[in-house]
Amino acid sequence: MKVKVKVRRFNPEKDHRPYWGEYQLEAQPTDRVLDLLVYIKGYIDGTLTFRRSCAHGICGSDAMVINGRNRLACKELVKDVGRTIVIEPLRGLPVIKDLAVDMEPFFRKYRSILPFLINDEPPPYTERLQSPEARERFDDTTKCILCAACTTSCPSFWANDSYLGPAAIVQAHRFIFDDRDRGAQARLAILAEADGVWRCRTIYNCVDACPREIDITRAIGEVKKLLLVE
Amino acid sequence: MIHRFDVIVVGAGGAGLMAALYASRGAKTAVISKLYPTRSHTGTAQGGIGAALGNMEEDHPEWHIFDTIKGSDYLADQDAVKILCEEAVGMVYELEHMGLPFDRTPDGRIAQRPFGGHTNNVTKQPVRRACHAADRTGHMILQTVYQQCIKNNVTFFDEYQVLDLLVNDEGHVAGVTAIHIDSGELHTFYGKATIFATGGFGRLWKITSNAYALTGDGVAVAFRRGIPLEDMEFYQFHPTGILGLGILLTEGVRGEGGVLINGEGERFMPRYAPTVKDLASRDVVSRAIYLEVRAGRGIGGKDYVYLDVRPETVNKYFVEDGVKNPDGTPRRITAQDIRRKLPDISDFCKTYLQLDPIKSPLPIQPTAHYAMGGIPTNNNAEVVIDAQGTVMPGFYAAGECACVSVHGANRLGTNSLVDILVFGRRAGQNAAIYAAQADWPRLPAAAEEPARAALAAIRNGTGREVVAQIRAEMRSLMMDNVGVFRTEALLSEALARLRDLKECFSRISIMDKGKRWNTELLEAWELGCMLDLAEVTTVAALTRTESRGAHFREDFPERDDVNWLKHSLAYLEADGQIRMDTKPVTLGLYEPARRVY
């Protein structure tokens, strides 16, 4: 089938403002949107710039806005997006070139919530024991691949880019609800600040955006609830 | 711009991060990666990490050692395998202590599942050895080790791509040249010790489980600097890639009871591996699939078979085989078990095949997956540059880019995760110790010039050849001629055509002449790396006139221990030719025996 791909282009070395690049190509219904971008770059316009790596939804490199929604280009198939495919860079992060945005502000927020197990008690020689139920408690939030699709879909983040954003809260949740961790108080103190969890207005964009189907709003709700109890 | 660090780690997958974590405890350390660390390919490993914890049934590191050596078709160095399997146990506990969310047994211990080639050495039946976090074990390892690096303030240079290894006149490694992808500027990273943890090169083949990033940069860069490459003829094809796409469906699917079915509805693996059947090692299963297809028993006569993990199928064969749980009760599986234990696999099948593994069999074909060969190292992760084991001062390698050799001619599933962590740790520790006592090596004059010239040649090229076209031709050629089954005719043809493609590569041009984020330039440079490695692989495959592990020569179908129980070494000569040499295999624990599963 013939498809038209419209890409929001911007080259910082040449362009004063972004413009739309349009490409017509032949595609299979089961092609990934990423396959189309790779084809355009390989055979039509080598200057088209985007990140990609694993191409099956695990590495988190190729989050972008596809027909208005935050998606991984490698998990969107042509048959599901129609014959006209409009692709833009993630919103709320500075565009570097075409679809590549500056990820540093995103990773800074990630690092700020102490994203590592905190437990100074000497471990046993073998594994610490953890019940399957306790393990299940934070299973959903261990799936996060840090693609930034959720945070950059969030109107609260667009309005105020100092907001931690859903991804950082998901990462905090993964440790707060792990019964081996002892750092919950330190993390909750960060999440209780003005730019923390209360900026979430439960708009649910993040849930739609998450390629890992993490129930993000629920995770944020659990953190909010814990803060109220504390 | 020059950066000075005691230890420079190139690559931020499991091996690089583990190396950095350990090196940074005793030395000023930097990690350079062309991807953000969490994008690294370790994150796509699914089924588990092998360690004889014995949490669910009797198991011993000695059994793991034997299985690994047998799996390697006796080409692995047995002292290295001993280290791998013995240190695996402590490494898994260390990961748990770091916070890795392993699945748990009812009594709270780390859960384990069966995997291909891992057996109870007494009963010969599959043993539960693969420690798992659902089917995203690699994701959890990558995240956990990265988290520890953040906790320990490791210095990262994200999205810097290494283009050259700096070797001075004394033969010491003095660091690397890298391009900052965002600015396009070259940077010199000057260090006492340099660790390559740059991963594999599955992108040489058309159907692959490997990420776009896996273009073998580190291996090619080392080769061009005179370091020989070991055992390059051994490249693993994983039996179960999604048809046409190559996306991996973990061996854990068969670990949970899934079976391979041909076009006649027959579960065919018992004909090839009567004891462990579908859980034979990967080389055996991939060849079996090709042989079924060749005999006209593909699905609908085509070039693929089914992986069937529907509960009714699995339970039928559990009954037939009398498979039991550790407590002696008959083993059965439900749809819910599959969803819980294989959630990502279910998601891949839904997304890319529009199939539910609980309701439909899955079309699969072997997919290029893992390089057993690479940069030769000793057990300390020091790079060695000849058959005598001479160490190249200041240079270390670990993970898929390295060849210790713990995998020999065929790697067992789960052992790559063990390898990256055990030898990544050794690389980090030893590099830090070396840096503490070594003087600063002399930095070569105009260190950045070779990299600058290589990029300029591509940027200024005015020929008519197209990078994507050459790349596509190379990948098809490697798939057809240098894949699971090889012959002298196929390999010779491949070599001639690869040399044509290299010649075409000298006449490419690119459209993007800019500096910032010029990924067209870098993709072209990566193609140069891949063409070099394709040629080495093909020459090595032509030279080895026997069949062993993943290297199967139809014109030499038997293993030949008299002439070929040895590693190969490929050297780049000054005139651009590849010279092949050999070095002995370290035995000592198990004498080579016939390999039957």
**B442-460 pLDDT per residue, tens:** 999 999 999 999 999 999 9
Query: Chain B within 8 Å of A137 (Cβ-Cβ)?
Result: no
Instruction: Identify the closest residue of chain B to A111 by CA–CA distance.
Output: B150
Query: Chain B within 8 Å of A82 (Cβ-Cβ)?
Result: no
A170 interaction partners in chain B (CB closer than 8 Å): none
| Structure confidence by residue, pLDDT tens digits, B269-317 | 999 999 999 999 999 999 999 999 999 999 999 999 999 999 999 999 9
| Structure confidence by residue, pLDDT tens digits, B361-371 | 999 999 999 99
Give the H or E element holding residue B571: strand B566-572
Question: Dihedral sign, CA of A49, A55, A59, A60?
Answer: positive
Q: Do B109 and A180 touch (CB under 8 A)?
A: no
Choose one of A101, A120, A138: the last residue of a domain: A101
- Do B420 and B137 contact (CB within 8 A), yes or no? no
Residues A186 and A82 grouped into a single domain: no
Look at residue B437 in the predicted model and tell me its pLDDT.
97
What SS3 string covers B228-276? Answer: CEECCCCEEEEEEEECCCCCECCCHHHHCCCEEECCCCCECHHHHCCCC
Which whole number is the average pLDDT over B322-337? 93
Beta strand pairing call for B173-180 and B186-196: antiparallel
Look at residue B241 in the predicted model and tell me its pLDDT.
97
Residues A223 and A111 grouped into a single domain: yes
Residues A87 and A180 grouped into a single domain: no
What's the CATH number where A34 sits? 3.10.20.30
Query: Chain B within 8 Å of A108 (Cβ-Cβ)?
Result: no
| A151 to chain B, closest Cα gap in Å | 17
Q: pLDDT band for B489, please (50, 70, 90 cuts).
A: very high
Q: What are the mean pLDDT values of chain A's consecutive 10-residue runs (230 residues total)? A: 98 97 97 98 98 97 98 97 97 98 98 97 97 98 98 97 97 98 97 95 96 97 93
Beta strand pairing call for A63-66 and A69-72: antiparallel
Query: Chain A within 8 Å of B5 (Cβ-Cβ)?
Result: no
Candidates A127, A130, A131, A180: best to mutate against B (most CBs of B within 10 A) is A127
What's the CATH number where A211 sits? 1.10.1060.10
Candidates A59, A78, A175: best to mutate against B (most CBs of B within 10 A) is A59
| Structure confidence by residue, pLDDT tens digits, A143-161 | 999 999 999 999 999 999 9
Buried b / exposed e across A53-88, counting CB within 10 Å, b at 16+?
Answer: bbbbbbbbbbbbbbbeebbbbbbbbbeebeeebbbb
Residues A154 and A213 grouped into a single domain: yes
| Prior bond of B405 cis (ω within 30°) | yes
Task: For B386-442, list the strands marked E by DSSP.
Answer: 391-397, 402-403
| Structure confidence by residue, pLDDT tens digits, B51-62 | 999 999 999 999
- Do A83 and A1 contact (CB within 8 A), yes or no? yes
Q: What is the CA radius of gyration of chain B?
A: 23
Number of helices (H), then strands (E), in chain B: 17, 22
Residues A97 and A144 grouped into a single domain: no
The residue segments making up the domain with residue A97 are 2-101
Q: CB B457: neighbour CB atoms within 10 A?
A: 14
| B209: pLDDT strictly greater than 90 | yes
| B435: pLDDT strictly greater than 80 | yes
> What SS3 state is found at B427?
helix
What part of A 146-165 touches B (C-beta under 8 Å)? 146
CB nearest to B93's CB, from A41, A43, A126: A126
Query: Chain B within 8 Å of A25 (Cβ-Cβ)?
Result: no
The first and second tokens of residue B305, run together, are: 């078979």
CB nearest to B211's CB, from A30, A59, A115: A59
Residues A55 and A146 grouped into a single domain: no
Residues A137 and A220 grouped into a single domain: yes
Query: Chain A within 8 Å of B150 (Cβ-Cβ)?
Result: yes
How far CA B415 is from CA of A80, B52, B117, B370, in Å, comes to 38, 12, 11, 11
Q: Do A127 and B140 touch (CB under 8 A)?
A: no
> What SS3 state is found at B548?
strand
Residues A84 and A30 grouped into a single domain: yes
| Structure confidence by residue, pLDDT tens digits, B141-165 | 999 999 999 999 999 999 999 999 9
| Structure confidence by residue, pLDDT tens digits, B508-523 | 999 999 999 999 999 9
Beta strand pairing call for B155-158 and B29-33: parallel
Look at residue B48 in the predicted model and tell me its pLDDT.
96
Candidates B56, B95, B212, B248: best to mutate against A (most CBs of A within 10 A) is B212
Query: Chain A within 8 Å of B36 (Cβ-Cβ)?
Result: yes
Residues A153 and A182 grouped into a single domain: yes
Question: Does the annotation mark B267 as catalytic?
Answer: no
A96 interaction partners in chain B (CB closer than 8 Å): 182, 516-517
- Do B9 and B111 contact (CB within 8 A), yes or no? no
Choose one of A74, A101, A128: the last residue of a domain: A101
Give the largest CA-CA distance in chain A: 62
Residues A145 and A185 grouped into a single domain: yes
Look at residue B273 in the predicted model and tell me its pLDDT.
97
Total domain count, chain A: 2
Q: CB A169: neighbour CB atoms within 10 A?
A: 30
Choose one of A35, A69, A101: the last residue of a domain: A101
Look at residue A202 in the predicted model and tell me its pLDDT.
93
The number of C-alpha atoms within 13 Å of B87 and in the hemisphere containing its C-beta is: 19
Look at residue B327 in the predicted model and tell me its pLDDT.
87
Nearest to B233 by CA among B550, B540, B565, B523: B540
Average pLDDT, chain B: 97
- Do A21 and A9 contact (CB within 8 A), yes or no? yes
Look at residue A230 in the predicted model and tell me its pLDDT.
75
Residues A8 and A79 grouped into a single domain: yes
Task: Report how far residue B308's alpha carbon sits from residue B298's, in angstroms, rounded to the nearest whole number.
Answer: 14
> What SS3 state is found at A146?
coil
Please tell me what DSSP assigns to residue B277: G
Residues A179 and A115 grouped into a single domain: yes
